[in-house]
Homo-oligomer: A and B are copies of this chain.
Amino acid sequence: MSETLRLPSWTDIEQAVRRIDGYVHRTPVLSSRYFNRRTGANLFFKCENFQRVGAFKFRGACNAIAALPAETARRGVITHSSGNHGQAVALASRLHGYQAVVVMPDDSARVKVEAVREYGAEVVFCAPGTKSRDDAVQELIDRHDHVFVPPYNHPDIIAGQGTAASELLGEIPDLDVILAPVGGGGLISGTAIAARHLAPDIRVIGAEPRNADDAARSFHSGKLEPASPEQTVADGLRTTLGPLNLAVIRDHVDDILTVSEEAIIREMRTVWERMKIIIEPSCAVPLAALSEHDMGINGLRVGIILTGGNVDLDALPW
């Protein structure tokens, strides 16, 4: 599972665009009179909540799996995830004709387990925690020679996630600022590479829950900082930053802002009420940053990646 990874570049994103064509939805870009009035800016929302499996994660998984040599992938694809990446790998594998195994903690929500199975993957349970998860994956790789598709710390994943910003800037070329949430850093690093190439003067801003602020700390210290002990409602952002992701972020991201749990929940609800679209808590983090930080965006054109819409409707956070 460990190898020395090269930094991805714009060329990788161009290649990803071609690889995922026909598999991935070209998602719509929405605007909102309400949020424009409230922020004084002109906001453009790239709606990856409408992406297949309900999240941008499908882009990276689809690109990484399409990039595998067929003889390797035929041995089976494996990943670990209790969330959107597992569904993304399951569906992308099925569409490419490969078997997939998703290692999930045995306390995963049943609806998430069912979703992974519905996309045709085998689910293998492990005890909760990073160590048991990694051990379970390694054991299956040792036994079956499966190929591992990591959730964020890989150039093909980063390049795949970068295709969302590339589509957004293709449609709205003159953005002044682009915002995305930060968890493991796959999305923000892909976004930064695409944005830097397509709009060199753009400001690239990451947004992170204050209760899971290892990326903000790592960005400022220049080295990978340990996970925060707090919990966050933004379940998609509980992972810690990857080393490759930090390297890209240090080169191309202008700032990482942190936000409160209250603002995440409030902005999630406001999007539901005002825009009539379903977003998950992680997805509201950039909007929380707009409400809690003076970003000097008055009169500017701001792109926001809405990352996903997978929510348990029986356990809403308000």
The residues of A with any CB-CB pair to B shorter than 8 Å are: 28, 33, 49-50, 52, 54, 269, 272-273, 275-279, 309, 313-314, 316, 318
- In the complex where A277-B278, A278-B277, A278-B278 touch, is A313 in contact with B272 (Cβ < 8 A)? yes
A28 to B31, CA, bound (A): 12
- Can you name 4 extra interface pairs (CB under 8 A) apart from A273-B313, A314-B318? A28-B28, A269-B313, A276-B277, A277-B278
Minimum CB distance partner of A280 in chain B: B276
Residues of B within 8 A of A54 (CB): 276
Choose from B275, B309, B314, B318 the contact partner of A313 (Cβ within 8 Å). Answer: B318
Residues on the B chain within 8 Å of A28, using CB = 28
A223 CB, min distance to chain B CBs, angstroms: 38
10 CB-based A-B contacts, threshold 8 Å = A28-B28, A33-B52, A49-B276, A54-B276, A273-B313, A276-B277, A276-B309, A278-B278, A313-B316, A314-B318
In the bound complex, residues from chain B placing their C-beta under 8 Å from that of A309 are 276
Give which listed residue, B33, B272, B316, contacts A278 with CB less than 8 A. B272
For A52, the closest partner residue in chain B by CB is B33
Among residues of B, the one whose C-beta sits closest to the C-beta of A312 is B273
Q: How far is the CB of A148 from chain B (nearest CB, A)?
A: 28
Shortest A99–chain B CB gap in Å is 22
User: Could you tell me if A276 and B276 are in contact, using CB atoms closer than 8 angstroms?
Assistant: no
In the complex, residue of chain B having the shortest beta-carbon distance to the beta carbon of A48: B276
Which residues of chain B are near A52, meaning CB under 8 Å?
33
Report the bound CA distance from A318 to B316 in whole Å: 12
For A28, A276, A309, A318, the residue with the greatest tally of chain B CB atoms inside 10 Å of its CB is A276
In contact, B313 and A50 (Cβ under 8 angstroms): no
| A316 contact set on B, CB distance < 8 A | 313, 316
Which residue on chain B has the smallest CB distance to residue A50?
A: B276
A279 to B313, CA, bound (A): 14
Q: How long is the Cα–Cα vector from A272 to B33 in the complex, in angstroms?
A: 22
- Output the least CB separation between A197 and chain B (Å): 29
Enumerate chain B residues within 8 angstroms of A50, measured Cβ to Cβ.
Answer: 275-276
Contacting residues, chain B, for A273 (C-beta < 8 A): 313
Q: For A49, list chain B residues within 8 Å (CB).
A: 276
CB distance from A111 to the nearest CB of B (A): 9
CB distance from A51 to the nearest CB of B (A): 9
